[in-house]
Structure 1
């Protein structure tokens, strides 16, 4: 839960290569009153779908404006590691996941090379330059100029170009996100307009594919997925707060309603400790000679905050084994609802 998503973008890229040709015989050459102006809001959204998304290494660099170029040497929580490929990310993840109540630190051995949202590569020579980059990313995110990564266009697609009189001048076949970004970016400096040849297919971040039949459907899909992405980011922030509340803390079962009956009394003799290694330890405070009941927990999120409890042995605590939705929380009380049965409610009170 320590990945921080910071979206961002840089404003310039040279035109990338694409294939341009005259319309095929079966395509009508003529006037299109619905051609998209390259400076319109829809064009800006389309351009953002083509930006380079550097989010996969956010847990290291803290921003999705920049994609780290291998090799990278970094000191993670005091341990120096060399990252030569994406598989080596696991080295950093294992160090960061050792404890869940510490503040992870990453210090790069500068200079490092990064690929920006516009696909250009720059060398970062110092921590100061790196912090300036992060600030630009924050500004881009605040100004809604960051990469849209929740909707991936299935390439290739065809784009029709038009002059200022709305007469078609040609067809461009776009085969990648980089080409899409470069195409729209180049048109911003011209007097041309464009129109996407529908239908196209867009794959959303949840893995589903949708057919898009016109500009309105495309814009709706982008707005819906960015709104969903914002919910995911907010839930992730809340999950970090919940993880901070439970880590190295001890709780009692304040209430446990299942089948319409509160059976919290089954747990009155026990406390539940959440360790900072994601372990659970249930202790009997009345009969201390009884063996502790152990388990594991995990805090996660989608658009909700999720708390999974898993006690390993078949005991009274097996009833708590569930993936719970955290419906409310304070520094001392968690209210949980079963992910699969909303009638099952669990409240944990911190001692």
Structure 2
């Protein structure tokens, strides 16, 4: 675990006290009185520090602790999804993902290391989950530590005086961390200076309002007043009400029963539509929302009907998420959100006709999986009931649904998908069923499998991990076994019991992988080589030179191309290697050293999805100006191939 503490150094300001010989160059101004200065450890200084403190609760969706926040960017894994959090918008996206009912609430894992930032902006690098949880467990919430309901509007500035009230500098502050550190430095007894805040200063409250203050007293009162908004939401904030109105259609009533089947649709461009049932035309008009001294006003204008009942200015007296109450004189209009009709349209628009193509089966009777995963139903974020039917009439009447949808044997070329919304509305979609001639072994045929380990200077035995030979292909197979002879592989007998640690004494040997899928099998050879891991004539200086001369691409990792999109930019002298692809940039460390076995490259602090596996020491076993082959010092079965590109 590494600890980093970052503070703004303002001590250079106080060096002016030592240069009394330069007094004629220092501006003499009217002495600031006691009410204008910022006194260390005073109530005002404490309020300002608490306002400028790092608010650790903003990212509790990540760490579950309000005592600290996680430094961004950070990468998390949610199930099979790798998610890089760059900003607050990404945090909201992560929250939406975790809110998905199909996602386990405990499914999120960090890609370590990460950095956490405490309320005082001190930082700690966290190396693993256990270390993080120890800090979470020690987190004790204290509402007096941070004032999160008020914010300074930057920049602000301070005037700095010496003991003779000579102005020696003006410090401009541009963010919370700089302000917090500035006030922290004032507590240092050695800094015998006087500072005053330059007014006016603007404070923004959590409810969106701002206030301008011109004295220390007004500033303290403004911050204390802001605390009443902490944890509370203003009921009727203009922007929130506007966004709520345009989200869905609204049922409305004035108590007369005249609008029972009508819905109001508030369009973002200020147009208003009032529809009735399934009518194809709607009553038109305009709407506008504005804030007044009396509250929020909704104005309906230029209506093509209902002018007497609805036109005019209505005062918003209640504004819940799904209910808005308006008054005009002695009239009351109650709006209730009705998202069903709009949601049905959005739901059905999410779908279309589908085609399922599967490989031809040995018995020539295709077996289709009509599950939600197969045709992408889970991508439509709404509640609905799907059912599959062999005829259009059955689908329309919701009769005779296909029972075993995940193993549906048929020779017919089309079935019908009925999507029924919560409202009871439904639509029918075509599902086309087709087959194709598939080569199940294409991946295995695409390259020659060669495993190499370094000659350890003895007569062996040498240990090979046979499973990495086709690691990129084996997930597509039903069963993969390994055999020492071709006849054994072809008959499927005498499989090697522990292929992860297969031992061999031969300098060159061939073993065989038997691959079974869809009741078919093929046999593929794996060449085992014992090689001299001396990197040829490349010296450590040669390696340093060719690494820093051009860019390098990780063309192979353990025989697969999983990391091929990562490129390496080795910086000369700094010990930094920039590792990047289209979505990720990582500043990692690198170094070379000469050992008895040869030249070793060490990678450190490689914090990124999948690529973090290269951390550690790698022996250069092959060296040319265009390519380096590296074997992990602790496990020679782990291999990296780097290809140089000077484009």
TM-score, structure 2 length as denominator?
Answer: 0.33
Structure 1 equivalent of residue 47 of structure 2: 45
1:346 aligned to which of 331, 334, 353: 334
Structure 2 equivalent of residue 73 of structure 1: 75
**Per-residue displacement from partner, 1:184-222 (whole Å, max 9, x unpaired)?**
223334275754233133251566665431101111222
Structure 2 equivalent of residue 216 of structure 1: 217
**Per-residue displacement from partner, 1:240-277 (whole Å, max 9, x unpaired)?**
xxxxxxxxxxxx97x833xxxx134643x89xxxxxxx
Alignment partner of 1:175 is 2:173: yes
Within 2, Cα distance between the matches of 1:48 and 1:224?
14
Tell me, what secondary structure is at the counterpart of 2:233? Answer: helix
Within 2, Cα distance between the matches of 1:339 and 1:197?
47
Within 2, Cα distance between the matches of 1:283 and 1:79?
45
TM-aligned CA deviation for residue 99 of structure 1: 4.9
Does the 8 A contact of 1:13 with 1:185 survive in 2?
no
Q: Residues 339 and 64 from structure 1, CA distance in 2 versus in 1: closer, same or farther, beyond 3 angstroms? A: farther
Alignment partner of 1:263 is 2:256: yes
Q: Residues 323 and 113 from structure 1, CA distance in 2 versus in 1: closer, same or farther, beyond 3 angstroms? A: farther
Within 2, Cα distance between the matches of 1:123 and 1:87?
21
Structure 1 equivalent of residue 146 of structure 2: 146
Does the 8 A contact of 1:32 with 1:168 survive in 2?
no
Alignment partner of 1:196 is 2:193: no
Within 1, Cα distance between the matches of 2:39 and 2:64?
34
Q: Residues 54 and 189 from structure 1, CA distance in 2 versus in 1: closer, same or farther, beyond 3 angstroms? A: same
Structure 2 equivalent of residue 248 of structure 1: none
Tell me, what secondary structure is at the counterpart of 2:232? Answer: helix
Does the 8 A contact of 1:60 with 1:106 survive in 2?
no
CA RMSD of aligned residues (A): 5.5
Within 2, Cα distance between the matches of 1:151 and 1:91?
21
**Per-residue displacement from partner, 1:82-102 (whole Å, max 9, x unpaired)?**
316338817834843875898
Q: Residues 154 and 347 from structure 1, CA distance in 2 versus in 1: closer, same or farther, beyond 3 angstroms? A: closer
Within 1, Cα distance between the matches of 2:105 and 2:329?
36
- Higher CA-based Rg: 2
Q: Residues 328 and 54 from structure 1, CA distance in 2 versus in 1: closer, same or farther, beyond 3 angstroms? A: closer
Q: Residues 203 and 29 from structure 1, CA distance in 2 versus in 1: closer, same or farther, beyond 3 angstroms? A: closer
Within 1, Cα distance between the matches of 2:138 and 2:124?
14
Deviates more, 1:340-349 or 1:65-74: 340-349
TM-aligned CA deviation for residue 122 of structure 1: 0.9
Structure 2 equivalent of residue 304 of structure 1: none
Aligned residues: 275
Show the 5 A alignment for 1:95-134.
95-96=96-97, 99=100, 107-109=108-110, 111=112, 112-127=114-129, 129-131=131-133, 133-134=135-136
1:336 aligned to which of 314, 321, 324: 324
Structure 2 equivalent of residue 92 of structure 1: 93
TM-aligned CA deviation for residue 157 of structure 1: 0.3
Within 2, Cα distance between the matches of 1:339 and 1:122?
55
Structure 1 equivalent of residue 228 of structure 2: 227
Deviates more, 1:126-135 or 1:196-205: 126-135
Does the 8 A contact of 2:67 with 2:119 survive in 1?
yes
Does the 8 A contact of 1:70 with 1:85 survive in 2?
yes
TM-aligned CA deviation for residue 38 of structure 1: 1.9
Q: Residues 61 and 194 from structure 1, CA distance in 2 versus in 1: closer, same or farther, beyond 3 angstroms? A: farther
Q: Residues 167 and 123 from structure 1, CA distance in 2 versus in 1: closer, same or farther, beyond 3 angstroms? A: same
Within 1, Cα distance between the matches of 2:326 and 2:139?
38
Does the 8 A contact of 1:256 with 1:264 survive in 2?
yes
Within 1, Cα distance between the matches of 2:111 and 2:328?
48
Deviates more, 1:222-231 or 1:29-38: 29-38
Alignment partner of 1:61 is 2:53: no
2:9 aligned to which of 17, 23, 27: 17
TM-aligned CA deviation for residue 232 of structure 1: 2.6
Larger relative contact order, structure 1 or 2 (CA cutoff 8 Å, min sep 6): 1
TM-aligned CA deviation for residue 231 of structure 1: 2.0
Gaps of 5+ in 1: 1-11, 240-251, 271-281, 285-289, 292-313
Within 1, Cα distance between the matches of 2:331 and 2:133?
48
Q: Residues 46 and 94 from structure 1, CA distance in 2 versus in 1: closer, same or farther, beyond 3 angstroms? A: closer
Within 1, Cα distance between the matches of 2:167 and 2:162?
5
Q: Residues 95 and 264 from structure 1, CA distance in 2 versus in 1: closer, same or farther, beyond 3 angstroms? A: same
Within 1, Cα distance between the matches of 2:256 and 2:183?
61
Deviates more, 1:90-99 or 1:121-130: 90-99
Show the 5 A alignment for 1:241-260.
256-257=253-254
Tell me, what secondary structure is at the counterpart of 1:17? Answer: coil
